[in-house]
Chain A
Amino acid sequence: MGEAIAFYFIAACILGFAVLVISTKDTVHSVLFLVLDFLFVAALYVLLGAAFLAAIQILVYAGGIVVLYLFVVMLVNLKRPPEAHSDPHRQTRLGFGMAAAVIVELGAVALYSTGKPVVPLASAATAAIPVSGNTEQVGWLLYTSYLIPFEIASMLLLVAMIGAIVLAKREL
């Protein structure tokens, strides 16, 4: 009962702030609504029992990536007043058409899947985790079964860091 109230409240906030992100005229307000959206998504992760992922969402997404967006928005707004960047809305009908298509598809999936039993994944990774607790489980998986993607992700971040510095420098 409490979980249902929490879920509906958090879901309403997530969708509400997402709509505000894409419809606000002022870019800085858009970025702020995005931060609030990410904080509510982190709350949703806590509701699902993924406490580590919730903390990572706040630390990386809300506290890192969106700060980057805010810096760029402020640097872009610096030379011109905000009203100079006008925004004629185009492709509106195509956007709403695609949304309607996704709704129809979801309805079909929901109708088709009622009454089918849920088949759990039987993989070796689940059975052999000797630690308990959400952070320990995620850490175990990251360092044993998924070590190679982990290392590749760190290489990707290194390359992205170097690329971003080179791209944004004034003189090379």
Chain B
Amino acid sequence: MVDTLVIPILKILIVLNATLVAVTYMVLLERKVIAWAQSRLGPMRVGPYGILQPVADAVKLMIKEDITPTRADKWVFTAAPIISMVPALIVYAVIPFGPEVNLFGRRVTLFITDVNVGLLYIVSVASVGVYGIILAGYASNSKFPLLASLRASAQLISYEVAVTLTLVSVILMAGSLSMVSIVRAQESSHLWYAFVQPLAFGIFVIGSLAETNRAPFDMPEAEQELTGGFHTEYSGMRFALFFLAEYANMIVVSSVATTLFLGGWLRPFPSVAMLSVLDVVPSWTWFLIKSFLFLYFFIWIRATLPRYRYDQLMRLGWKVLIPLAIANLVVTGIVKVVLL
């Protein structure tokens, strides 16, 4: 009873709360890092060094007036941010933060569940997340958001193909779809898959930048293009949900990349016995460090690169990334068969 009901509910509560707090502080982290990259200081007024800025942002967005455009589809208008946010959160059900540990005398696994088709679950949930963007643009009953949402969703479904093909190469290497098995396969082969499959890693990073509508692929939501994109007509708490959904997607993508390519909860050089002094750091801390490095990389890219034009973006996705991903898959298959 305790094992099947109470512990999973506790895990879900902890993971959800940690994710939402992390998402809120991602906003502050991004503003600070971009500010430092531009030789300025970022938010400094609210709290010491601007630490309480997310609280101020949340209060501001919550007390704003709730505007719905006239002749907009009320139900769909309200549902679109929710449809955007939910897939970003439910992916955490299959991400492993660590192996089994001993907590209060009980063996507790540091993941909520280990589904046999974990990676396929993540991909399918990500493909449902497109609906939030399409419906947001449609429900606003206004030309600019509609065109922007069509562009954004076309971008998302194009890069989904390339990202899924790279994930298939990882599945070929690991021999299983379950996320925990993939980390254990990296443990037993003593090499993180980022070194075994560098091209797949590169395509995954570029593809996930496009999937989460981050710079340099953020044409659909930049303020200079199409007056703010698909969330033009949204204000207050609904806009906050879209905003948070984008950052939650970023964190999810970082977690997935960490698990698949950077070894999940493993410490660097897990087989070298001399470095076993690193074992004092618990497994989930390694996971958080690697995810954080990924997130910092995302923000760094935003501060550095200019924006892609839309046709350049689509050309990159269809004509460059997909053939490269297929070629990577073919070579991986041949190597697996020859070196079997």
Contacts and interface: CB of A to CB of B under 8 A. Distances in A.
A and B touch in the complex (CB under 8 A): yes
Interface of A: 26, 28-29, 32, 35, 39, 51-52, 54-56, 58-59, 62-64, 67, 70-71, 74, 78, 133-135
Contacts of A54: 117
B116 A133 contact: yes
B138 interface: yes
A133 B120 CA distance: 15
Interface string B150-191: 100100010000000000000000000100000000000000
A67 B115 contact: no
A52 B130 contact: no
The list of the 6 closest CB pairs from A to B, nearest first, reads: A63-B127, A58-B124, A55-B120, A59-B124, A51-B117, A55-B124
B120 A52 contact: yes
B153 A58 contact: no
B146 interface: yes
A64 B161 CA distance: 11
A135 B116 CA distance: 8
Contact of B73 (A28, A59, A67, A70): A28
B131 A28 contact: no
A59 B150 contact: no
Interface residues of B, number: 22
6 contacts: A26-B73, A51-B116, A58-B125, A59-B123, A62-B124, A71-B134
B117 A52 contact: yes
Interface of B: 73, 76, 115-117, 120-121, 123-125, 127-128, 130-131, 134-135, 138, 146, 150, 153, 157, 177
A74 B124 contact: no
A74 B150 contact: yes
A154 to B, nearest CB: 13
B324 to A, nearest CB: 20
Contacts of B121: 55
Q: How would you classify the secondary structure of chain B's contact residues: helix, strand, loop or mixed? A: helix
A150 to B, nearest CB: 16
Contacts of B128: 39, 58, 62-63
Contacts of B76: 28-29, 32
A81 to B, nearest CB: 9
B245 to A, nearest CB: 17
Contacts of B157: 64, 67
Q: Which of B115, B120, B124, B134 has the most C-beta atoms of chain A within 10 angstroms of its own C-beta?
A: B124
A35 B116 contact: no
Contacts of A71: 134, 150, 153
A137 B137 CA distance: 42
Nearest to A67: B130
Contacts of B177: 135
Nearest to A57: B124
A105 to B, nearest CB: 36
A28 to B, nearest CB: 7
Given A74-B138, A74-B146, A64 B117 contact: no
A167 to B, nearest CB: 18
Given A28-B138, A74-B146, A74-B150, A135 B131 contact: no
Nearest to A64: B127
A70 B139 CA distance: 12
Contacts of A28: 73, 76, 138
Given A28-B138, A55-B124, A63 B130 contact: yes
A81 B8 CA distance: 49
A59 B127 contact: yes
A88 B246 CA distance: 43
A56 B138 CA distance: 27
Nearest to B171: A135
A142 to B, nearest CB: 15
A32 B73 CA distance: 13
Given A58-B124, A59-B124, A67 B138 contact: no
B154 to A, nearest CB: 9
Nearest to B127: A63
A135 B120 CA distance: 11
A55 B138 contact: no
Contacts of A58: 124-125, 127-128
A5 to B, nearest CB: 16
A61 to B, nearest CB: 10
A50 B153 CA distance: 30
Contacts of A29: 76
